[in-house]
Structure 1
Amino acid sequence: MYYKCILMVFAATCVLYASGQSYEDKRCKCVCPSLAAILNNTNGSDRKLYIANVPPSKCDCDGVILPQVDAEIKSRGQEFCPRCECKYENRNTTIIKVVVIIVIWVIMLLVVYMGFLICLDPLINKRAKASYQEHTNEDDEGSVSGPSQQMGVRGNVLNRVTHQQDKWKRQVREQRRNIYDRHTMLN
């Protein structure tokens, strides 16, 4: 399991590194109508995205879109450009990568912790069943005697926790039986 976690982190890091190569921190992003809408003079709702790495002063239709389109669209630039919306974006992809890596690590730590608790639960239940002794009064926790006194404080706390857990499970079973079978509520 430990190797799978390391492999997952390595794969995520490789993906982040590869994806980081295709994006720039500073870019000009232009959203324009479809080229078919201009050529056919139809009002299509499809939009096209143009992204270029240009300085802020050239973040317009002439600097980003016209160098990427056909000559036919370039000749209709006066008709095409007013329909485009260009925005200059400045972002820090390093911070984005760090946040994603931290989130992945937190998720992995929680998965490892959950696995630890799943493995620990049978051990606690086995120890509790081995040292279980019948109590005459469930509310009296001070009258614990026998092998549980020899286990010391740690074993005593563990016995109390498992005793409370068993008591709660019995109460839940009793409530379910009363509600579903007898259709009554407990006090």
Structure 2
Amino acid sequence: MSRRKGPAVFVMAVVVTVCLLEAAGFAQAKNFEDVRCKCICPPYRNITGHIYNRNVSQKDCNCLHVVEPMPVPGHDVEAYCLLCECKYEERSSNTIKVTIIIYLSVVGALLLYMLFLLLVDPLIRKRDPYIQPLHNEEDSEEMRPPADSSQARGNTVLERVEGAQQRWKKQVQEQRKTVFDRHKLLS
């Protein structure tokens, strides 16, 4: 089953990468500015509300310079502009791009690491014939051979992790045994 997951994860990673590259190309195709004036105008008489964006300086950020074409006739312009709320906005597109590149690099590195683990882990990991579901904790203690002291001291990270996992399993078995013994005493 783990052999089927490897190619599926690889294909998924390729599809996500292609989609992200397409999105980056689309975003670069548009000409985004770092400064803009955004005017939000609510509905006025028979005119629907609208949002206007324009690249103007901060001193020119008002309804008269941003709203084009003016949707109302000349004598209603002042009343219409009083309803509009205009805000000057600044952003740093370079900071946004760098942040996204770092984020995508970290996600890509994690995907590659996951793919590496999916492909290499079955080759490294040995099948332990003694691992079975615990039906009775005393049976599992009798079936498991004693651990060598040379195996307990692993040189590789994988051996150290497996050793810690075995110690944890032994602690869990001891806790189960004490809980069951106490349960028998109370019954």
1:104 aligns with 2:110: no
Cα–Cα, structure 1 residues 15 and 161, in superposed 2: closer, same or farther, change >3 Å?
closer
2:55 equivalent among 53, 56, 62 = 53
Q: Find the residue that maps to 1:54 and give its secondary structure.
A: coil
Pick from 4, 19, 22 the counterpart of residue 11 of structure 1: 19
Report the counterpart of residue 76 of structure 1 in structure 2.
Answer: 76
Q: How many residues matched?
A: 161
| % identical equivalent positions | 33
Give the TM-score normalised by the residue count of structure 2.
0.63
Q: CA separation in 2, counterparts of 1:89 and 1:159?
A: 56
1:85-104 to structure 2, matched below 5 A, reads: 85-104=85-104
Distance in structure 1 (CA, Å) of the matches to 2:95 and 2:70: 34
Does structure 1 residue 23 correspond to structure 2 residue 32?
yes
Alignment of 1:153-164 (within 5 A): 154=155, 159=159, 161-164=161-164
Contact in 2 for aligned 1:13/1:101 (Cα 8 Å): no
Q: Write the letter of the residue equivalent to 1:134.
A: P
Cα 1:80–1:177, aligned 2, differ >3 Å: closer, same or farther? farther
Q: CA deviation at 1:25?
A: 1.6
Ranges in structure 1 where 5+ consecutive residues have no aligned partner: none
Deviation per residue, 1:31-56 (Å, 9 max, x gap): 222x2xx2069xxxx96421112233
For 2:33, give the aligned amino acid.
E
Code of the aligned partner of 2:60: K
Which amino acid is the alignment partner of residue 164 of structure 2?
Q
Change in 2 beyond 3 A, CA 1:161/1:63: closer
Pairwise CA RMSD: 4.0
Give the secondary-structure state (helix, strand or coil) at the position aligned to 1:88: strand
Q: Partner amino acid for 1:14?
A: E
Q: Do the aligned residues in 2 keep the contact of 1:51 with 1:64 (CA within 8 Å)?
A: yes
Amino acid at match of 2:66: V
Which of the residues 121, 131, 134 maps onto 2:145? Answer: 134
Are the counterparts in 2 of residues 9 and 104 from structure 1 also a CA contact under 8 Å? Answer: no
Find the residue that maps to 2:37 and give its secondary structure. strand
TM-score by length of 1: 0.63
Contact 2:38 2:52 in 1 (8 A): yes
Distance 1:23 1:88 in 2: 15
